[in-house]
Amino acid sequence: MGFSQWIPVLVALQFFIGIIIFYLIKNILNDNINKEKEGEGKERKGKGR
């Protein structure tokens, strides 16, 4: 009886944790992509000049 009551809570926790991890990874990847784009842009400008 007691364990069955915890199943929805565990599922909800996994769901929220998954969303949080997904957004953290997404933000990290976006930061890396933006840094790479900025670095390439600076290098291109430097080479052009």
Where does the pLDDT of residue 2 fall: very low under 50, low under 70, confident under 90, or very high at 90 and above?
confident
Amino acid 42: pLDDT: 62
Q: Please state whether the predicted TM-score (pTM) of the whole model is above 0.75.
A: no
Amino acid 4: pLDDT: 86
Q: pLDDT by residue (tens digit) across 8-32?
A: 999 999 999 999 999 999 999 998 8
The ranges assigned to domains in the chain are 3-45
Q: Tell me the C-alpha distance between 33 and 26, whole Å.
A: 11
Amino acid 23: pLDDT: 97
Residue 5 has which token pair? 């009551």
Q: What is the DSSP letter of 19?
A: H
Percentages (nearest 5) of helix, strand, coil residues in the chain:
95, 0, 5
Q: Tell me the C-alpha distance between 17 and 20, whole Å.
A: 5
